[in-house]
Amino acid sequence: MAGNSELPAQTLEGKVAIVTGSSRGLGAEMAMDLARRGANVVITYTSQSSESKAKQLVSDIKALSNSSEAISVRADMRDTSSPKVIVDATLKAFGPEIHVLVNNAGVALSKNLSEMSLPEDYDSVYEVNVRGVILLTQAVLPHLPPRSRIINISSVGARAGFAGVSLYTSSKAALEGLTRSWAGELGGNGTTVNAVAPGPVKSDMLDTIDPKIVKMQMDNTPVQKRVGTAEEVAGVVSWLAGPESAWVSGQVLCASGGWMMY
């Protein structure tokens, strides 16, 4: 996790940001990076075992030497009532406007088509990676002021055709479709909608992916033949959340060290 010694420019001072699935992994680093730039952050998590991590992150954010605040909310995105729980908690803590929504929470599943239990496996992935994103984004809409930012966390897998993870990769392809259509719908007041598609980054989720896929990606990554870091992805998200990205919308920005180049 990034330290507190030197804070970057406070480009997000006074902004309110929700980052789903931010108790650990990439989401935790995104929440911290947004807070380091001045945002007040809402951290969401699901499991009892993640509660202490979420609360520690809230403390770490409050301890930053700027005025950023944070709250944590337990909300499983499979539950269709969770979007209202998250939005209500956000408005109660930080007032009537939500400026940044990062749809980061996601689940992976490694199963070939022939092995899937359907429709259960489909539901287990799509309820979180697609339906939850649609429901939360719709719930946030009435509270978005002009020039808001919606950032959906996709994956290079959305366009890569990896074997054995088709429910995951197709859910991310759906997310990229939502990103483009919402960019078309919401741009009138300066709101932008973009996706960030990371390559492999060390996390609990990466540990569930076939190591052969990860090795193939590392071997073919132009930048230093390595996996990425959560900090490297968080920096891209924070840039999209900030004012410098105002003319970028409907894009999928790959953060993969050049493994994917389009």
Ligand X SMILES: NC(=O)c1ccc[n+]([C@@H]2O[C@H](COP(=O)([O-])OP(=O)(O)OC[C@H]3O[C@@H](n4cnc5c(N)ncnc54)[C@H](OP(=O)(O)O)[C@@H]3O)[C@@H](O)[C@H]2O)c1
**Contact status, residue 221 vs residue 259, Cβ threshold 8 Å:** yes
Does the annotation count 155 as an active-site position? yes
Among 12, 16, 24, 94, binds ligand X (CB under 6 A): 24
CB of 25 or CB of 257, closer to ligand X: 25
Interface pick for ligand X out of 2, 15, 18, 27 (rule CB under 6 A): 27
> Using the rule CB under 6 A, is 77 a contact of ligand X?
yes
Interatomic CA distance for residues 203 and 30, integer angstroms: 14
- Residue 14: CB minimum distance to ligand X, A: 26
Torsion of CA 42, 43, 47, 51, to 10 degrees: -100
Q: Using CB under 6 A, which of 2, 12, 25, 71 touches ligand X?
A: 25
State the nearest-atom distance from the C-beta of 16 to ligand X, in Å: 19
Q: Which residues contact 106 (CB under 8 A, 6 or more apart)?
A: 21, 128, 129, 153, 155, 171, 172, 205
User: Which residue in the list 50, 68, 148, 154 is annotated as catalytic?
Assistant: 154
Contact 219, 257 (CB under 8 A): no
45 an active-site residue? no
Tokens (6 digits) for 212: 């052969």
Residues 193/240, Cβ–Cβ less than 8 Å:
no
195 touches ligand X (CB under 6 A): no
CB of 73 to ligand X, least distance (A): 10
Selected range binding ligand X among 8-16, 25-33, 89-97, 239-247, rule: CB under 6 A: 25-33
Nearer to ligand X, 101 or 190 (CB): 101
Residue showing tokens 């749809």: 103
Closest CA to 108 of 168, 155, 176, 157: 168
Residues contributing to the site for ligand X (CB under 6 A): 20-27, 45-47, 50, 76-78, 104-107, 128, 153, 155, 198, 200-201, 203-206
Which residues are known catalytic residues? 154-155, 168, 172
